[in-house]
Structure 1
Amino acid sequence: MSIKDVAARAGVSPGTVSNVLNRPEKVAGSTRARVEGVIRELGFVRHGSASSLRAGHSRTVGLSVIDIGNPFFTDVAAGVEEVASERGYAVILGNSSGDELKEERNLLVFAEHRVRGVLITPTGTGSGRLDQLRERGINTVLVDYPATSPDQCSVAVNDVAGGALAVSHLLGGGAERIAYVTGPLTIRQCLDRRIGAEQALAAAGRDPGEAMRQITMNAMTARAGQEAAEKMVSGGRLPDAVFCANDLLALGMMRGLLQAGVRVPQDVALIGYDDIDFASASAVSLSSVRQPTHRLGRVATELLLDECDNPESHAHQQIMFQPELVVRESSR
């Protein structure tokens, strides 16, 4: 497959395809989108790199994460790099920012660099390009995302159990009205943590629809958490407790509440998720649901390199870690 094939399918010149690959800023947005759609459809890798792929792989692995600004993914990446370095590999990092198109571009770059394998926390429900990578002999492992197929390795954390841990703790502290502050539920982790929260409410004999209010933000950052706090404070009666889908949201929520004169935990109890380093260092130390972030990265990389080095004996594994409740000052 060549640039000419892509050009013919997209109805443009080979030069336009070349510009999309090498100088995308020179191509009109609608044309670039059409060409990129054909590239994804055909699973095209530029010709020189395709030849390199046939010749072998480099001593690199690709890592695609949703948000490298989140310390959770920084810790995962540290675990990945640690094992890769021990085995003589370098890591190419791609940050999707939760954008599926950007994720696909990252995977294309990985393929062009002849990576030995790819570790990915997929956006949405996953990426069809993963199958294309595997067809090209590039092994993949899902990170912080459970595989749905037995022929795919994955390393994840039981987020349903984690959501239940958080809300059971808040209920045990006497909370009657709980707010769940989350990013988009298209993010698998956000949805699973909500499901766990609802299960905990139901187990306590509470109607989740009445006992829990959801506040959905477009991002899972401290800024978004503070904006959620401002919405909550201006919206009238406050909940007794807030469960945030990650610690960045929770730290922003705490800042917003404290600035509004709302005491944590006396007026509103608060719990986050991930147990990043900043959780214990905040003005009011943050209760959180801990994930084994560094271990996620290490184990995922070990699985990937085992599959690469021992294809005949490798057994696919779907590893599910259990989260841990860490209680600090922000909750009763």
Structure 2
Amino acid sequence: MKKPRRLASKLGPLPQSDSGAQQSKHRRVFDHLLASIQSGGLKPGDRLPSEAELGKLFDASRITVAKAVHDLQRMGLVTRRPGAGTHVLAEDRPSGRTFGLLIPELGLTEIFEPICHGMMRTRSARPDALLWGNSSLSVQDSAKAAEQTVQSFISQRVAGVFFAPLELTSEKDAANRRIARALDRAQIPFVLLDRCYMPYPERSPHDLVGVDNRCAGYIATTHLVDLGTRRLVFFAEEFAANTVEARITGFYEALRVRGVKPDWEPVWRGSPQDEAFVRRMIDAARPEGVVCANDLTAARLMQMLIGIGLRIPEDIRIVGMDDVRYASLLPVSLTTIHQDCGGIGAVAMATMLQRLEQPELPIRDVLVPVRLVVRRSCGAPLQKEKHSAN
């Protein structure tokens, strides 16, 4: 039996605490183990230190360590053997497979590029290739481009497809269903990224990897309420994905739990670049704070509000979702919900590989945790980042 190497040589130096961000102990353990596996510090067949050893090393509880190790196991990176401990999973599968990336919004939003890079950085994906489909430069052309891309993937007989369903167009539902039917007929498995293409409570028969959007909406809303903001609205564009509906559900739930009973219309759907619509919302709801469906909507709304003479956060507080790269560079740095896009990509690849190897597994929703990043737009004292509990 291979003898375990010393902790320092297996895991490398522990990261120094980041003075700009308070990282949960679970995340610190998980990230360091994942980095050690991906860098080759922990090699296939190596035994991880015991949960007791890891707990001592990271000054974390055994429950916290077990959760981090379980997350690695769920990603297909480690295996637990009774009486033998936890080992890095050795790769024993055919290589040379090609997967297609069907992401119509790749050129329109920032979250999917780091998701794709997360797939490519995953150790288990290195023998395989990712085929990037053509992305559309406009929402109007996205449905046609996506259907052309899926036919190209079918003709090339890719091993599987990562599919982020269309949104923000009236054609999205019909186009998404046509794409799904085409892949099913071709018997090509696909993993959904970020969202399902069927409206709640319907559920497609395919694995989904994303974040807990209801939780994201809840965290953003309770943050504003706890700052003393009572008159809140949720702002979203029309034809948004059902992830937005889940965020709205979390928004309503947070209002209920915090005892806020709106006597105004709390949800507004329209363009943040439509001045007449934005003014109508301001006059009708008189909001003290706005929870936006995503950072792009928040950025556009911020620009409009500043343009009509309102101050952020003095007159209106804003929270977004996604934590895209420009969120901290807006005229007023944006408080937002951070998604671990690289982690979503890694989990999506592990889910795809497991689906190929075990097609009989039940359909799964795999949700990566989110956290709140506090910046100026919410009006909170600027201290350390505030994290979710999940």
Letter in 1 for 2:318: L
* TM-score (norm: length of structure 1): 0.70
Aligned counterpart in structure 2 of residue 274 of structure 1, from 299, 310, 322: 322
Letter in 1 for 2:190: T
Please give the alpha-carbon distance, in whole angstroms, between the structure 1 residues aligned to 2:110 and 2:300.
Answer: 14
Contact 1:63 1:94 (C-alpha < 8 Å) held by counterparts? no
Contact 2:291 2:320 (C-alpha < 8 Å) held by counterparts? yes
1:325 aligns with 2:372: yes
Please give the alpha-carbon distance, in whole angstroms, between the structure 2 residues aligned to 1:312 and 1:74.
Answer: 28
Counterpart in the other structure of 2:72: none
Please give the alpha-carbon distance, in whole angstroms, between the structure 2 residues aligned to 1:173 and 1:229.
Answer: 28
Aligned counterpart in structure 2 of residue 232 of structure 1, from 278, 301, 322: 278
Residues 266-275 or 105-114, more deviating: 105-114
Counterpart in the other structure of 1:111: 154
Contact 2:161 2:191 (C-alpha < 8 Å) held by counterparts? yes
Distance 1:261 1:149, change over 3 A: closer
Aligned counterpart in structure 1 of residue 223 of structure 2, from 142, 158, 169: 169
Distance 1:179 1:305, change over 3 A: same
Please give the alpha-carbon distance, in whole angstroms, between the structure 2 residues aligned to 1:236 and 1:138.
Answer: 48
Please give the alpha-carbon distance, in whole angstroms, between the structure 2 residues aligned to 1:256 and 1:280.
Answer: 18
Letter in 1 for 2:301: M
Contact 1:262 1:268 (C-alpha < 8 Å) held by counterparts? yes
Counterpart in the other structure of 2:22: none
Counterpart in the other structure of 1:60: 98
Please give the alpha-carbon distance, in whole angstroms, between the structure 2 residues aligned to 1:273 and 1:228.
Answer: 21
Helix, strand or coil: the match of 1:104?
A: helix
Q: Note the C-alpha offset of 1:85.
A: 6.1
The residue correspondences of 1:30-179 to structure 2 (distance < 5 A) are 59-68=97-106, 69-83=108-122, 86-95=126-135, 97=139, 100=143, 102-123=145-166, 126-145=176-195, 152-179=206-233
Counterpart in the other structure of 2:313: 265
1:292 aligns with 2:340: yes
Please give the alpha-carbon distance, in whole angstroms, between the structure 1 residues aligned to 2:300 and 2:204.
Answer: 39
Q: Note the C-alpha offset of 1:114.
A: 1.6
Helix, strand or coil: the match of 2:157?
A: coil
Contact 1:230 1:256 (C-alpha < 8 Å) held by counterparts? no
1:215 aligns with 2:265: no
Letter in 2 for 1:122: P
Please give the alpha-carbon distance, in whole angstroms, between the structure 2 residues aligned to 1:64 and 1:314.
Answer: 23
Distance 1:65 1:274, change over 3 A: same
Please give the alpha-carbon distance, in whole angstroms, between the structure 2 residues aligned to 1:144 and 1:106.
Answer: 19
Helix, strand or coil: the match of 2:352?
A: helix
Contact 1:273 1:290 (C-alpha < 8 Å) held by counterparts? yes
Contact 1:79 1:294 (C-alpha < 8 Å) held by counterparts? yes
Q: Note the C-alpha offset of 1:161.
A: 1.0
Contact 2:96 2:127 (C-alpha < 8 Å) held by counterparts? no
Say how many residue pairs are matched.
267
Please give the alpha-carbon distance, in whole angstroms, between the structure 2 residues aligned to 1:235 and 1:155.
Answer: 34
Contact 2:293 2:320 (C-alpha < 8 Å) held by counterparts? yes
Helix, strand or coil: the match of 1:271?
A: strand
| Same amino acid, percent of matched pairs | 24
Distance 1:170 1:211, change over 3 A: farther
Name the one with the larger helix percent. 1
Q: Note the C-alpha offset of 1:211.
A: 4.7
Letter in 1 for 2:188: I
Q: Note the C-alpha offset of 1:163.
A: 0.6
Q: Note the C-alpha offset of 1:119.
A: 0.6
Please give the alpha-carbon distance, in whole angstroms, between the structure 2 residues aligned to 1:290 and 1:248.
Answer: 14
Distance 1:211 1:327, change over 3 A: farther
Please give the alpha-carbon distance, in whole angstroms, between the structure 2 residues aligned to 1:287 and 1:194.
Answer: 18
Letter in 2 for 1:152: H
Residues 279-288 or 180-189, more deviating: 180-189
Residues 192-201 or 175-184, more deviating: 175-184
Letter in 1 for 2:315: D
* TM-score (norm: length of structure 2): 0.61
Please give the alpha-carbon distance, in whole angstroms, between the structure 2 residues aligned to 1:236 and 1:286.
Answer: 20
Unaligned runs of 5+ in 2: 1-94, 167-171, 380-390
Contact 2:102 2:162 (C-alpha < 8 Å) held by counterparts? yes
Aligned counterpart in structure 2 of residue 249 of structure 1, from 291, 297, 305: 297
Deviations along 1:213-257, whole A, 9 cap, x unmatched? 33323xxxxxx53x1566324665441011110001111222222
More RCO (CA 8 Å, sep 6+): 1
Helix, strand or coil: the match of 1:71?
A: coil
Please give the alpha-carbon distance, in whole angstroms, between the structure 2 residues aligned to 1:152 and 1:131.
Answer: 12
Deviations along 1:47-91, whole A, 9 cap, x unmatched? xxxxxxxxxx98421112242221112222222333486223132
1:205 aligns with 2:259: yes
Please give the alpha-carbon distance, in whole angstroms, between the structure 1 residues aligned to 2:146 and 2:342.
Answer: 22
Q: Note the C-alpha offset of 1:318.
A: 2.6
Contact 1:288 1:326 (C-alpha < 8 Å) held by counterparts? yes
Please give the alpha-carbon distance, in whole angstroms, between the structure 2 residues aligned to 1:255 and 1:79.
Answer: 31
Q: Note the C-alpha offset of 1:187.
A: 1.4
Q: Note the C-alpha offset of 1:270.
A: 0.5
Residues 142-151 or 161-170, more deviating: 142-151
